[in-house]
């Protein structure tokens, strides 16, 4: 699931109906710095939905980029019992 929060939107609204979930985030800047794109693709139940795009082949380079992106992620809402 991907999502973009509106300025001032309470992140807890994302987890309604998912009491044991957490929420992690990455910045659009980090995504773009790694050579990926960000495209808004609104969904009926999520008008802020986005998709990360890119045509990189499955390679060590892509694995490194994915690893950097994962390492840049931060908790918006900590996991339960964290």
Residues 6+ apart with CB under 8 A from 42: 48, 49
Residues 6+ apart with CB under 8 A from 40: 4, 48, 49, 50
Dihedral (C-alpha) 13, 33, 42, 62: value to the nearest 10 degrees? -100
User: What predicted TM-score, i.e. pTM, was given to this entire model?
Assistant: 0.71
**pLDDT tens digits for range 7-62:** 667 888 878 888 899 999 898 899 999 888 899 898 887 787 888 888 655 667 88
């Amino acid at each position: 699931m991907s999502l973009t929060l509106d300025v001032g939107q309470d992140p807890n609204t994302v987890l309604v109906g998912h009491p044991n979930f957490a929420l992690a985030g990455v910045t659009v800047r980090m995504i773009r710095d790694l050579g990926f794109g960000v495209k808004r693709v609104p969904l009926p139940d999520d008008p802020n939905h986005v998709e990360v795009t890119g045509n990189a082949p499955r390679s060590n380079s892509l694995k490194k980029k994915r690893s950097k992106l994962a390492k840049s992620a931060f908790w918006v809402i900590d996991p339960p019992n964290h």
